[in-house]
Chains A and B, each alone.
Chain A
Amino acid sequence: MSEGAHHPAAMSPVEQRVAALEALLTERGLVPEGFIEQTIHRYESEIGPMNGARVVARAWADPQYKQRLLADGTAAIAELGFGGAEGDHMVVVENTPAVHNVIVCTLCSCYPWPTLGLPPAWYKDPPYRARMVREPRVLLAEMGCELPEGTEIRVWDSSAEVRYLVLPQRPEGTEGMSEADLAGVVTRDSMIGVARL
């Protein structure tokens, strides 16, 4: 039972609906003890962009790994222990000075969970899904990602089984950094492709 369920007057309609569903499913014996808390913990702490950042840092530090990553994303990502639902068929697309990649799901919210976690709200909301395929250069600039004129933009709409991860360019000034420090430079937005590092 959620905390708010003890104070129905303070609950919003959607909170009341969640509480209703939770109560009915619990009464039918379908919600194992601790399941909700464990699920929340898993999504908040075990998966997330820190995993993708490790993949990117490894690719920056190890040219052979990068080659494997671009040739077979799923297998190379599995080398670091990441895989599973919404990460079974990974394709990694590489940013270069001439090419910028960005991912979107216009039909729903497909996103590589094992490497990036659950998608941020803006990725799932209508403005991003509607506009990224129609005016990516304008939208990227609005989101703070100004690209040099002439940069080719490749948008990837995740409409089938493949999930995408953008391999950002390694920023200047990171020479000599350890792999762990490199991972600290990588942001979620850079792996979606709405930012450059």
Chain B
Amino acid sequence: MDGIHDLGGMQGFGPVDHAPAEPVFHEPWEGRARALIEVVLGAVRPNGGEFRHAIERMDPGHYLTSSYYEHWLTAAATLAVERGLLTREELEARAGGTFPLSGPVLAPPVTGPGAGPNEPRFHAGDQVRVRDWHPPGHTRCPRYIRGKTGIVVRLDGNYSVPDVEAHGAARRDEPTYSVRFNAAELWSDGQQGVCVHVDLWDSYLEPA
């Protein structure tokens, strides 16, 4: 989905609040939340990509105004409610207030693995173009490279396609690649000596 999580290239965010030394957890609740998320994931056993997609389904305003551990908390609670482990009502009653959850899955369920290449269609040095499409579900193809042309620099073996496994029991393994894009190709701003590598599944690509 073209969600708020897909941040690459967006403008207007200002400086990075960077500190060379930073504690693992800033507040005690972050560590507890981190552990509770493991409890929820152990209980509901989501498909690969399903937890990430639950974060992606957060209300965009909530996403941008909450910390990463709050994203994880929201996604874990959402999956717990969707799978019937807990109810929203009991969460809110215990919290003494609203307990915002992520929005519904927009994509239809994926009922079969679909067709895709088992063998790499591309090799190091090949020029490829990223499909310019807008799937409504989970994908690991960022928006900022869609329709752009790059060069395959590395083959990484076959892995389960997130777009399939996040939306049902079906699985499809496909070759994955690291693809190099010149920054000037991505942003049309004449940057020299800068390239961005993005790791992509075979079906995200087409020959160029």
Number of A-B residue pairs, CB cutoff 8 Å, is 222
Which secondary structure characterizes the binding site on chain B? mixed
- The B68-116 residues at the A interface (CB cut-off 8 A) are 68, 70, 73, 76-77, 80, 85-86, 90-92, 94-99
Please measure, in the bound complex, the distance between the C-alpha atom of A188 and the C-alpha atom of B24, giving whole angstroms: 12
B199's partner among A24, A131, A139, A162 (CB-CB below 8 A) is A162
Query: Which residues of the partner chain A approach B80 to less than 8 Å between Cβ atoms?
Result: 21
Query: Which residues of the partner chain B approach A112 to less than 8 Å between Cβ atoms?
Result: none
A137's partner among B18, B98, B194, B197 (CB-CB below 8 A) is B194
Least CB separation from A158: chain B residue: B199
- The A97-144 residues at the B interface (CB cut-off 8 A) are 106-109, 117-118, 120-122, 124-131, 133-137, 139, 142-143
Report whether B186 and A133 are in contact in the complex, using a CB–CB cutoff of 8 Å. Answer: yes
**Stretch in A9-17, A63-71, A172-180 with 4+ CB within 8 Å of B:** A9-17
Least CB separation from B66: chain A residue: A14
Report whether B142 and A107 are in contact in the complex, using a CB–CB cutoff of 8 Å. Answer: yes
Q: How many residues of B contact A (CB 8 A)?
A: 78
Q: How many residues of A contact B (CB 8 A)?
A: 72
Report whether B35 and A39 are in contact in the complex, using a CB–CB cutoff of 8 Å. Answer: yes
Report whether A106 and B178 are in contact in the complex, using a CB–CB cutoff of 8 Å. Answer: no
Please measure, in the bound complex, the distance between the C-alpha atom of A2 and the C-alpha atom of B68, giving whole angstroms: 20
Please measure, in the bound complex, the distance between the C-alpha atom of A151 and the C-alpha atom of B55, giving whole angstroms: 36
- The A146-191 residues at the B interface (CB cut-off 8 A) are 150-162, 187-189
Report whether A157 and B196 are in contact in the complex, using a CB–CB cutoff of 8 Å. Answer: yes
Q: Does B33 contact A (CB under 8 A)?
A: yes
Least CB separation from A150: chain B residue: B193
Report whether B52 and A160 are in contact in the complex, using a CB–CB cutoff of 8 Å. Answer: no
Report if A21-B31 is in contact (Cβ < 8 Å); known contacts: A48-B24, A156-B197: no
Please measure, in the bound complex, the distance between the C-alpha atom of A48 and the C-alpha atom of B90, giving whole angstroms: 37
Please measure, in the bound complex, the distance between the C-alpha atom of A123 and the C-alpha atom of B36, giving whole angstroms: 22
Query: Which residues of the partner chain A approach B38 to less than 8 Å between Cβ atoms?
Result: 39
Report whether B20 and A195 are in contact in the complex, using a CB–CB cutoff of 8 Å. Answer: yes
Query: Which residues of the partner chain A approach B95 to less than 8 Å between Cβ atoms?
Result: 13, 16-17, 19-20
Report whether A160 and B20 are in contact in the complex, using a CB–CB cutoff of 8 Å. Answer: no
Report whether B13 and A120 are in contact in the complex, using a CB–CB cutoff of 8 Å. Answer: no
Add 4 more A-B contacts to A117-B24, A126-B10, A159-B140 (CB < 8 A). Answer: A22-B32, A122-B22, A134-B144, A142-B16
18 residue pairs A–B, Cβ–Cβ below 8 Å: A2-B28, A13-B98, A16-B97, A20-B92, A21-B80, A43-B34, A91-B154, A108-B52, A109-B68, A117-B24, A118-B24, A125-B67, A128-B16, A130-B10, A134-B144, A137-B191, A151-B193, A156-B197
Chain A residues with CB under 8 Å of chain B are: 2-4, 8, 13-25, 28, 30-31, 35-36, 39-40, 43-44, 48, 89, 91, 106-109, 117-118, 120-122, 124-131, 133-137, 139, 142-143, 150-162, 187-189, 194-195
